Structure 1
Amino acid sequence: MTKLIRHLLVFICCLGGLLAHPVFAAPAEPVEADRIVAVVGDEVVTYVDLRTRLAAALKQLQKQGTPLPPQDVLERQMLERLIMERVQLQYARDSGMKVDDNQLDQAIGRIAASNKMTLQQFRSALEKDGMEFKQFREEIRNEMVTVRLREREVESKLVISDGEIDNYLADQTKTGASGGEEYQLAHILLRAPESASPEQLQKLRLRGEQALKRAEAGENFAQLTAAFSDAPDALQGGDLGWRPLDRLPALYAEAGGKLQPGQVSPLLRSSAGFHIVKLINKRGGSAPASVQQTHARHILVRINEVVSEAEAKHRLDVIRERIVNGVDFAEQARLNSQDGSAAKGGDLGWLNPGDTVPEFERAMDALKINELSPVVQSPFGMHLIQVTERRERDVSEERQRGSARQALRERKLDEAYQDWLRQLRDRSYVENRLEEK
């Protein structure tokens, strides 16, 4: 789209606003006129869009007990997040990625169930909290698209070589690093454009030094994150959760390992921009010498456009009743399971902790030997699970290499995702008009 067409689009949007609000229908009280605060590709972001999203963010910050930054600072930060969201959604749309209504309904149903509510109860709770259900649906749809985009464009393209695993294991042995110690870090990211000029970098560095000075003086780090950070988790205080150092980006791991709880790092530089890291806390000790392995089998019915959650659960309830009444589990798995293990009677072999998704593992761990689970839901669909054996085993070389591969993936993923976002932002057409009067 040429610049002329973009300006015509902006003019038409403004004209549409005038036609929708004729002069003789003036409101009883003066209100600030809406205006365009950004142009992103072929779309505009209005001040009403910004204020609506900002109101939700303010409510979240207040609920978390985070002191609020100045309003103009929050507006700038929120607008940048809206721009990044539009950039990603436009890229997803142009590349043919979408989430249909059926998939969206299933996701919202799972959210309601996780809150121990029916869909109608969940909808009423949202509306009581001031959020329109239609708006909530679209926000969940956008979130699902963003997650799938990250999986397709970043996660699926990460490659971990055998050489990297060998080097990682050798380094762990040399340093005596313990896999059991975990660190809770929070961070601030000041994102730099891919082809930033020296002047832009210097301006960004000064802004980072300002944030660092305030953090070192003891100001609330979550408030500083909301005011300064360009990272997607800025409104959550930049909290990275509990992780071993080897599952953090290398830059953060090196800085975090030198900190004591409550301390902040110096201003850090990477290809993505400038960073500040704070160690919130650390815990744990040496990793266990052995793990409990579980030998399990399952029957899976997948949920899709044809089979609903209710239908999948009903099918498995019928199958469960047959097994309880004496029908062979393996036979039912071969006939009904929609998993690669069906040919082996649903046998999954020996499983280590972390080998399955959390929902499956929690249900499996709660079972006694030969006990049959109720119907269990996971991201893959609906399952019946049976545990046949358990044993204690030393962590094998294969297991160590698998853990090393996962640690390297997690370490590289955050860096790769930030790099991809920065490149996508730089390739997109964006006009930021927030400061225009």
Structure 2
Amino acid sequence: MTKSFPVLLASLLAVSSVSAPLQVIAQEAQPLDRIAAVVDEDVILQSELQRAIANIKAQYAGREAQLPPDDVLSRQVLERLVLVKLQVARAQGSGIRVSDQELTQAMNAIAQQNGSTLDALRQRLASDGIDFNDFRASVRDEITVQRLRQSFAQSRISVSEGEVDAALKQQADAGNQFHLAHILVALPDGASAEQIATGQKKADGVKALLDKGELDFNAAAVRYSDSPNALEGGDLGWRTLDEIPAAFAQTMQQMKPGEVVGPIRGPSGFQLLKLVEVRDASAAAGTHTVTEYHGRHILVRVDDAQSDAAAKAKIDTLRARIAGGADFQQVAKESSEDTNSKGQGGDLGWFPADAFGPAFGQQVAGIQDGGVSQPFRTDAGWHIVQRVGTRQTDVGSDNQRAQVRETIGRRKLEDEYNRFLQELRGEAYVSFRSGDRAENTATPPQS
């Protein structure tokens, strides 16, 4: 899989967010030095936890009722911070580094997204009581985690052409894609009968609240889900039938948007699944038609050995020969200085207009099939181009295959990386503190 995972320059756990007013965070977060948790050989300070909680609350401004009680929210956010610490440590142990130059580029990008400069962002952070170095450290950690995830994907995730073919066939047969959200009541590996019964009771209770209309699904996910995407309302995005658990897939085709099914027992625990909306898969994939040209060209280079004037004089002579009846391909074989196409009589094959730059595209688009352009200049030198033919090409099928491959890879990565995080969490020493006193030293990993 060659998925490139973009750096999310301001996550929910960053010191600040491009979508959250910095002053809100400053007002709610007071720097404290107490330890909130010990994570292997690292610590999470109470000030880090409070900044992250304040950021979550800023994200939910006007929708505070959807958030769980403060103690539950604190534990959810602390678990996320623990996972960040563990991922950063694993990344560093694997040799993943973020240079100061790369970090500065990321910081400049954040400033630009806020319509500001880096110096202005620094001043704004300072005026809101946010330490600039803390902010930089948060961004560095975030980039590091993204690179660990990317490295994980490249080393462990692959999608075969057969998988793409099967998904396309199923997509064509089903005709629909489904926008889903879920609530997970997690169970630990090797759950006891008592733990299973407790999980079932909780899942049934959440479903009852939804059925009565006492909570909407997103709010219930934020309050009760054990999934890593709980604070995003459990949103799973768009999925095809092959990406939906078999236990839900058949039922999903009979559901209407807004309906909820479950709880159903799965490998991670009990799940409730909501169908948000449905769309036609072929319409979503769409078609994209581009104009392609079949062309030949002759190049006379401008370099240290040949001045611009000399090259222009030479290309004018070659153009005059062709206008007088000389064969374009033969002239190209004899005189073109493009070593890649000279042997083929200057043949470039089929290409979109922008393949060789805007100047080349403008010339080839401005003549008729069979026509030859006037000499024109590019960075390489002077050209003339002959347009052999034109065609309209539907690249929708290629786009659709790429989208399907990406979707399958994303699903595999989500499953595998969540298992990786669960293993990482289960192997780590984590001690939560109340003030400076240990509260507990064992927290079940989240699926």
TM-score by length of 2: 0.61
Q: Deviations over 1:317-363 (max 9, x none)?
A: xxxxx9xxx9x9xxxxxxxxxxxxxx799x99768xxxxxxxx9xxx
Which runs of structure 2 are paired with 1:420-431 in the superposition (5 Å)? Answer: 420-431=420-431
Is the contact made by 2:170 and 2:241 (CA closer than 8 Å) also made in structure 1? no
Alignment pair present for 1:229 and 2:221 = no
Is the contact made by 1:272 and 1:422 (CA closer than 8 Å) also made in structure 2? no
Aligned partner of 2:198 in structure 1 is 203
Aligned partner of 1:303 in structure 2 is none
- Alignment CA distance shift 1:282-1:76 (3 Å): same
Which runs of structure 2 are paired with 1:185-204 in the superposition (5 Å)? Answer: 185-204=180-199
Instruction: Return the alpha-carbon distance in structure 2 between the equivalents of residues 285 and 400 of structure 1.
Output: 10
Aligned partner of 2:110 in structure 1 is 111
Aligned partner of 1:152 in structure 2 is 151
Instruction: Return the alpha-carbon distance in structure 2 between the equivalents of residues 141 and 58 of structure 1.
Output: 23
Instruction: Return the alpha-carbon distance in structure 2 between the equivalents of residues 406 and 228 of structure 1.
Output: 30
- Alignment CA distance shift 1:185-1:369 (3 Å): farther
Which runs of structure 2 are paired with 1:24-35 in the superposition (5 Å)? Answer: none
- Alignment CA distance shift 1:251-1:128 (3 Å): farther
- Alignment CA distance shift 1:81-1:395 (3 Å): closer
Aligned partner of 2:76 in structure 1 is 77
User: Cα distance, 1:267 vs. partner?
Assistant: 1.8
User: Cα distance, 1:106 vs. partner?
Assistant: 0.9
User: Cα distance, 1:83 vs. partner?
Assistant: 1.6
Is the contact made by 2:87 and 2:145 (CA closer than 8 Å) also made in structure 1? yes
Secondary structure, counterpart of 2:260 in structure 1 = coil
Instruction: Return the alpha-carbon distance in structure 1 between the equivalents of residues 101 and 55 of structure 2.
Output: 27
Instruction: Return the alpha-carbon distance in structure 2 between the equivalents of residues 122 and 72 of structure 1.
Output: 32
Q: Which amino acid aligns with 2:57?
A: L
Is the contact made by 2:159 and 2:405 (CA closer than 8 Å) also made in structure 1? yes
Secondary structure, counterpart of 1:62 in structure 2 = coil
Q: Deviations over 1:290-314 (max 9, x none)?
A: 4213659xxxxxxxxxxxxxxxxxx
RMSD between aligned residues: 4.3
Instruction: Return the alpha-carbon distance in structure 2 between the equivalents of residues 286 and 45 of structure 1.
Output: 48
Q: Which amino acid aligns with 1:405?
A: R
Secondary structure, counterpart of 1:259 in structure 2 = coil
Q: Which amino acid aligns with 1:207?
A: K
Alignment pair present for 1:239 and 2:235 = yes
Aligned partner of 1:168 in structure 2 is 167
Aligned partner of 1:370 in structure 2 is 362
Aligned partner of 1:18 in structure 2 is none
Instruction: Return the alpha-carbon distance in structure 2 between the equivalents of residues 348 and 131 of structure 1.
Output: 57
Which has the greater radius of gyration?
Answer: 2
Alignment pair present for 1:281 and 2:277 = yes
Secondary structure, counterpart of 2:105 in structure 1 = helix
Is the contact made by 2:32 and 2:47 (CA closer than 8 Å) also made in structure 1? no
Aligned partner of 2:97 in structure 1 is 98
Aligned partner of 2:208 in structure 1 is 213
- Alignment CA distance shift 1:129-1:46 (3 Å): closer
Which runs of structure 2 are paired with 1:410-421 in the superposition (5 Å)? Answer: 410-421=410-421
Instruction: Return the alpha-carbon distance in structure 1 between the equivalents of residues 159 and 194 of structure 2.
Output: 36
Instruction: Return the alpha-carbon distance in structure 2 between the equivalents of residues 350 and 149 of structure 1.
Output: 37
Secondary structure, counterpart of 2:209 in structure 1 = helix
User: Cα distance, 1:262 vs. partner?
Assistant: 2.1
Instruction: Return the alpha-carbon distance in structure 1 between the equivalents of residues 199 and 40 of structure 2.
Output: 25
Is the contact made by 1:104 and 1:140 (CA closer than 8 Å) also made in structure 2? yes
Q: Which amino acid aligns with 1:54?
A: I
Secondary structure, counterpart of 1:146 in structure 2 = helix
Instruction: Return the alpha-carbon distance in structure 1 between the equivalents of residues 420 and 270 of structure 2.
Output: 16
- Alignment CA distance shift 1:260-1:433 (3 Å): farther
Is the contact made by 1:183 and 1:281 (CA closer than 8 Å) also made in structure 2? yes
- Alignment CA distance shift 1:32-1:206 (3 Å): farther
Residue among 174, 178, 201 paired with 1:177: 174
- Alignment CA distance shift 1:394-1:133 (3 Å): closer
Aligned partner of 1:316 in structure 2 is none
Aligned partner of 1:393 in structure 2 is 394
Q: Which amino acid aligns with 2:97?
A: K
Is the contact made by 1:188 and 1:277 (CA closer than 8 Å) also made in structure 2? yes
Is the contact made by 2:177 and 2:241 (CA closer than 8 Å) also made in structure 1? no
Could you tell me which runs of 5 or more consecutive residues in structure 2 were left unpaired when the two chains were aligned: 1-29, 294-307, 316-339, 364-378, 380-386, 441-447
Identity %: 32
Secondary structure, counterpart of 1:274 in structure 2 = strand
Q: Deviations over 1:349-403 (max 9, x none)?
A: 768xxxxxxxx9xxx9x999639xxxxxxxxxxxx9xxx988342755x666544
Is the contact made by 1:193 and 1:426 (CA closer than 8 Å) also made in structure 2? no
Instruction: Return the alpha-carbon distance in structure 2 between the equivalents of residues 88 and 348 of structure 1.
Output: 47
User: Cα distance, 1:144 vs. partner?
Assistant: 1.0
User: Cα distance, 1:238 vs. partner?
Assistant: 2.5
Is the contact made by 1:246 and 1:408 (CA closer than 8 Å) also made in structure 2? no
- Alignment CA distance shift 1:420-1:37 (3 Å): same
TM-score by length of 1: 0.62
Aligned partner of 1:60 in structure 2 is 59
Is the contact made by 1:249 and 1:415 (CA closer than 8 Å) also made in structure 2? no
Secondary structure, counterpart of 1:165 in structure 2 = helix
Q: Deviations over 1:172-212 (max 9, x none)?
A: 45xx222xx54432223344434444444443333333333
Aligned partner of 1:436 in structure 2 is 439
Is the contact made by 1:40 and 1:431 (CA closer than 8 Å) also made in structure 2? yes
User: Cα distance, 1:108 vs. partner?
Assistant: 1.9
Q: Which amino acid aligns with 1:277?
A: L
Is the contact made by 2:57 and 2:64 (CA closer than 8 Å) also made in structure 1? no
Instruction: Return the alpha-carbon distance in structure 2 between the equivalents of residues 395 and 259 of structure 1.
Output: 29
Could you tell me which runs of 5 or more consecutive residues in structure 1 were left unpaired when the two chains were aligned: 1-30, 297-321, 329-342, 352-359, 372-383
- Alignment CA distance shift 1:161-1:65 (3 Å): same
Is the contact made by 2:91 and 2:144 (CA closer than 8 Å) also made in structure 1? yes
Q: Deviations over 1:254-275 (max 9, x none)?
A: 2654432222221233323333
Instruction: Return the alpha-carbon distance in structure 1 between the equivalents of residues 359 and 216 of structure 2.
Output: 44
Alignment pair present for 1:142 and 2:151 = no
